[in-house]
Amino acid sequence: MSPSALTHPDETRAAHAAVLRAAMLKAAAHAGPRTAGPLSACDAQEVLAFLAARPLHTVNMAGLIRDNGVVSPLNRGAFHAYRDEAERLEGVALVGHAILFESRTARATAAFARLAQRHGGGHLILGEEEPVELFWSHYAEGGQGPRRLCRELLLEQRWPIEARESVPELRPAEHEDLEEVVRVQAGLVSDESGVDPLSSDREGFRARCLMRVRRGRTWVVTQGGRLIFKAEVYAETPQVAYLEGVYVAPEWRGGGYGLRCLSQLTRNLLRRSDSVCLLVNESNAAARAFYRKAGYRQRAVYDTIFLNR
């Protein structure tokens, strides 16, 4: 036998592996709809890289993973992935109290909708307008019914930012601020969702407020023990910081003080993230004008569907 007819063992194994992989891909292509599967701690870097492709729209999921890891009760749900036939990520979703998802394909969105149907017990679905509409088309029949629908605008602020008079008293909240933070945040949640968290989950809600205070994520200005200004950095990555729970005491509104507080907090956050974003209810004209004055600009339209439980 001539040397040219000999095959190296490594080449033989590689050829066998290629044939086996081709057979597996062919079988997968004819196996019917794929399903979403749970993620584990070892998937964190892959998932964060996937979410980083659209950081403005995935900051909440990425922030939870950075804070708590992929698998944690603090996420109030479980992270799942949808993969293509070659095991590449096509979508990532958090299914639990909140249903959040980032899909590259319609079939990934459909798989997440089926998963959420089986899970049940969700409080809300949140995402960009068109993906949520597609998700709902698969979820509605057999899923939880809608309790309240909200159209929201995703706003973003980047450098440069208008310089305003500083607010030296703006600071991270401390433990002695907790009761005021809980009171104000509960009012904001109740106004938006129609559910009072102090009635539905008092201890859990208070614990989550305390956790953000301990992490330095709640910023306040107080006077005589009362909150004048409050904002929560709900999620943060090197690309984006996401704000929620922005509050200005009624007697301090309209004079520019809240605007100075928000502008200063935004400047602080832009020193460590590329942009700052938040959601505002489309019907809240006063809030939209407030954020516009602060330099925030609309980037997308979002839908929030609060679910019957």
Shared domain check, 206 and 131: no
Amino acid at 198: L
Shared domain check, 212 and 266: yes
Cβ-contact 35, 28 below 8 angstroms: no
Whole-number percent of the chain with pLDDT over 90: 86
Decide which of 144, 171, 205 is a domain's last residue: 144
pLDDT (average), residues 56-61? 98
Residue 123 lies in a domain: yes
Residue 137 lies in a domain: yes
Shared domain check, 71 and 124: yes
Helical packing angle, 178-193 and 202-214, nearest 10°:
120
Phi and psi, residue 217, nearest 5°: -95, -10
DSSP conformation letters of the chain: --GGG---HHHHHHHHHHHHHHHHHHHHHTS-----EE--GGGHHHHHHHHTTSHHHHHHHHHHHHHH-SS-GGGSEEEEEEE-TTS-EEEEEEEESEEEEEESSHHHHHHHHHHHHHH----EEEEEHHHHHHHHHHHTTTSPPEEEEEEEEEEEE-SS-------TT-EE--GGGHHHHHHHHHHHHHHHHS--HHHHSHHHHHHHHHHHHHTT-EEEEEETTEEEEEEEEEEE-SSEEEEEEEEE-GGGTTSSHHHHHHHHHHHHHHTTSSEEEEEEETT-HHHHHHHHHTT-EEEEEEEEEEEP-
Residue 73 lies in a domain: yes
Shared domain check, 130 and 219: no
pLDDT (average), residues 3-31? 43
Residue 95 lies in a domain: yes
Shared domain check, 133 and 53: yes
Q: Looking at the predicted structure, is the pLDDT value of residue 161 above 50?
A: yes
Structural domains in the chain (count):
2
Shared domain check, 69 and 188: no
More confident residue, 73 or 19: 73
pLDDT (average), residues 64-89? 97
Q: What CATH number did the domain enclosing 86 receive?
A: 3.40.630
Residue 307 lies in a domain: no
Q: Looking at the predicted structure, is the pLDDT value of residue 207 above 50?
A: yes
Shared domain check, 196 and 163: yes
Q: Looking at the predicted structure, is the pLDDT value of residue 109 above 80?
A: yes
pLDDT the model gives residue 25: 38
pLDDT (average), residues 51-69? 98
> What is the rounded distance in angstroms from the CA atom of residue 238 to the CA atom of residue 228?
29
**Residues 265-305 pLDDT 10s:** 999 999 999 999 999 999 999 999 999 999 999 999 999 99
Q: What CATH number did the domain enclosing 176 receive?
A: 3.40.630.30
Residue 57 lies in a domain: yes
Residue 4 lies in a domain: no
Residue whose pair of structure tokens reads 């009072």 in the numeric block: 196
Residue 134 lies in a domain: yes
pLDDT the model gives residue 163: 83
pLDDT the model gives residue 56: 98
- The gap from C-alpha 88 to its chain's centroid, in whole angstroms, comes to 22
pLDDT the model gives residue 33: 57
Q: Looking at the predicted structure, is the pLDDT value of residue 12 above 70?
A: no
Shared domain check, 171 and 108: no
Decide which of 144, 171, 190 is a domain's last residue: 144
Please report how many Cα atoms fall inside a 13 Å half-sphere around the Cα of residue 104, on the Cβ side. Answer: 13
**Residues 166-175 pLDDT 10s:** 999 999 999 9
Phi and psi, residue 79, nearest 5°: -85, 135
pLDDT (average), residues 126-153? 96
pLDDT the model gives residue 28: 39
Give the pLDDT band (50/70/90) at residue 34: confident
Shared domain check, 247 and 126: no
**Closest by alpha carbon to 82, among 120, 138, 122?**
138
- Residue 84 sits in which domain range? 37-144
Cis check for the bond before 168: say yes or no (omega within 30 of 0). no
Q: Looking at the predicted structure, is the pLDDT value of residue 20 above 80?
A: no
